[in-house]
Amino acid sequence: MSISAIQISEITKQFDKTLAVSGLSMEVPAGVIYGFLGPNGAGKTTTIRMMLNIIYPDKGGVSLFGHALDEEDKKKIGYLPEERGLYPKMTVDETLKYFARLKGMSTKDASKSIDTWLEKINMKEHRQKKVNELSKGMQQKIQFVATVQHDPELLILDEPFSGLDPINVMLIKDIILDMNKKGKTIIFSTHQMEQVEKLCEYICLINNGKKIIDGKQHSIRTEYGRNSITLEFDGNGSFLEKHSSVANIHLYPRKAEIELKPQFTPSAFLKDIVNKLEITKFELREASVESIFIRLVGESNE
């Protein structure tokens, strides 16, 4: 029986009168990319800090690699926090060697790793520049290298694409996928739902410190996509926004992505609109992670 990379059991954390996390349980299988999602203030960062023993839960427990986290385990983890932490007056080389030493790497191994990683992210010529001489996107890439250069078994990434242009988003995405192919477990926390759909096999959505749903992304999208429709048409589709069958809609010129209310069927909806628009495409689809996110967070807040 395989051991989960992370097992969280009924953890609770309160700060003064604020209940940040309440009875949260989740399991991250080893070797997967796991999307950890929620709106601002949902409790994601607090949960991640409890995973890493930066703070401790008031109740419940966390195990990594099948046991309570110890000092040796910390060397197997790479953590990219949302709030970045580079020293502006240090050079890129000094910065990366410093973070490598914190993870137990020798000077020789660190130097070799830095060469390899700076080549991968197209920044070899910037090795002796100070951090404050780099653009925000370049600093972000250096922070990412500092997180992964010691070849961690578990990678926790909090908004890893923040500040990156589309070319560098693709670069980092490809590195993440390559690391996962090598068996690394990756927890991925972001608001960029398009990247979640592309990268994550499993997702967990929390709101107000409580779990709303978790499981395989495909299964969740299929379950919530039974009443999801893609519609392409000629004509004025503005009336669709106020249609009695529609629970949620993204309306574009000549196209709409629609989620119907549970009591309405796609066939009945089509029958009602077929004489009002020239329909060129009508298909059932999996719900997007974004639409599920919006729907479930809204229901949870209500």
* Domain spans, the chain: 6-215, 226-285
Overall average pLDDT of the 49-75 stretch: 91
- Amino acid present at 13: K
Q: 27: helix, coil or strand?
A: strand
Predicted local confidence at residue 138, as pLDDT? 94
Which residues pair with residue 36 across a beta bridge?
204
The CATH code that applies to domain 6-215 is: 3.40.50.300
Tokens coding 115: 């060469």
**Residue 197: how many CB atoms within 10 A of its CB?**
16
Pick the CATH number of 226-285 from 3.30.465.10, 3.30.70.1150, 1.10.10.60, 3.30.70.100: 3.30.70.100
Which residues pair with residue 78 across a beta bridge?
155
Tokens coding 89: 């007056």
Identify the H or E element spanning 210. strand 210-216
Distance CA 111, CA 255 (A): 53
Confidence of residue 141 (pLDDT cuts 50, 70, 90): very high
Confidence of residue 123 (pLDDT cuts 50, 70, 90): very high
Tell me: pLDDT of 1 over 60.
no
Overall average pLDDT of the 79-92 stretch: 89
Predicted local confidence at residue 254, as pLDDT? 93
| Cβ pair 63, 71 in contact under 8 A | no
Tell me: pLDDT of 26 over 60.
yes
The one-character DSSP state at 285 is: -
Predicted local confidence at residue 70, as pLDDT? 85
| Cβ pair 172, 143 in contact under 8 A | no
pTM of the model: 0.84
Q: Which residue has the higher pLDDT, 191 or 280?
A: 280
Buried/exposed 256-272: b ≥16 CB within 10 Å, e otherwise: bbbbbeeebebeebeee
- Using CB atoms within 10 Å of the CB of residue 57, give its burial: 0 to 12 exposed, 13 to 18 middle, 19+ buried: buried
Distance CA 151, CA 47 (A): 23
Overall average pLDDT of the 156-173 stretch: 93
Tell me: pLDDT of 291 over 90.
no
Mean model confidence pLDDT for the chain: 92
Tokens coding 178: 């390559």
| pLDDT per residue as tens digits for the range 246-281 | 988 989 999 999 989 888 999 999 999 999 999 999
Domains 6-215 and 226-285 share a fold: no
Q: Which residue has the higher pLDDT, 72 or 156?
A: 156
Counting residues of the chain whose pLDDT is more than 90, the rounded percentage is 75
Distance CA 138, CA 148 (A): 16
Sheet holding 18-28, edge to edge: 18-28, 6-15, 59-64
- Amino acid present at 230: T
Tokens coding 169: 């988003």
| Cβ pair 8, 24 in contact under 8 A | yes
Counting residues of the chain whose pLDDT is more than 70, the rounded percentage is 99
Distance CA 193, CA 289 (A): 6
Predicted local confidence at residue 2, as pLDDT? 63
